[in-house]
Amino acid sequence: MRFLKHILQLLGLHRSWLTLLGLGAAAAFFWWEFATMRADRDRYRQWADVVCASAGTSFAAAPKSKLKAGEQCKAEVTALARFRSDQARLTADLLAKVSRERDGKIERDLAAATRSARAAAKAAQDMEKANAALEGDHVDPAWFDALNRHAGLQP
Amino acid sequence: MWILPGLMLSIAMLGCSHKPIETSPPPPVVVEVRDTPPADLLQCPTRPSGIPAGLSASIPAPVRDALIDLAGAYRSAVGQLERLINWHRPATPCGPASP
């Protein structure tokens, strides 16, 4: 208890010095905060300049422009992002459409090829039969008929 | 009596209206590339009427075999060509009508 009293007495004796020390510490703290904020601000501003230059514009408002600083840049970046997503969507839509068309084509072609192969096989079989039915080298109208059909000519 | 001031005010307020900011990106465009062959390559082949009906003849076996081979080759070539044309021009297909 006596020790605590002693300390309080000491603080009372050096009060002005201690106040000055406290003020100095507060000033140093604020100076450090401000310096950090200024460095951050400069870095972000530089970053904004780089982003806006990539988008083909500048962060600062153009002279004689009614827009605030950064407004044109924001609009450009937004438009670029929209352009990219729109382009990707249109491309995907077109690719899907072409793919669907191709699927339909393959299906139709396969059906047509199967049909004509079946008809060709039947005609070739008939031709073979007609050829086997001949006696000697004498060729009758049935053989010519089979030949025409084998060639797929008009009936 | 209030018409004229109202008109003037509305004209003055036009300047405050929000105009969209002009930007540089062009509208997105997609173009489908169609590699369609020339039109004369897409004409349906005309089939000849062949040997007239009711004829008889004397043809040696080697010639008959060659004729049969020629007929088969013609059929397969025409069939392949029609498939190719139908691939490029599906709207008006060539060849025998589908059953």
Give me the residue from B30, B64, B83 closest to A91, CB to CB.
B30
The model carries a pTM of 0.66
- Cβ within 8 Å, pair B24-A87: no
Beta bridge partners of B58: A138
Pair of tokens at residue B12: 């003055």
Q: What number is the ipTM of this complex?
A: 0.70
SS3 B58: strand
**Nearest-CA neighbor of A134 among B68, B76, B1?**
B68
pLDDT band at A81 (very low <50, low <70, confident <90, very high): very high
Beta bridge partners of A135: A138
Residues of A in contact with B69 (CB under 8 A): none
Residues of B in contact with A83 (CB under 8 A): 25-28
**Tens-digit pLDDT profile for residues B28-58:** 899 988 888 999 999 999 989 899 989 999 9
Give me the residue from A79, A116, A137 closest to B25, CB to CB.
A79
- Rounded to a whole number, what is the distance in Å from the CA of A22 to chain B's nearest CA? 52
Residue of B nearest to A120 (CA): B75
Domain boundaries, chain A: 1-54, 67-155
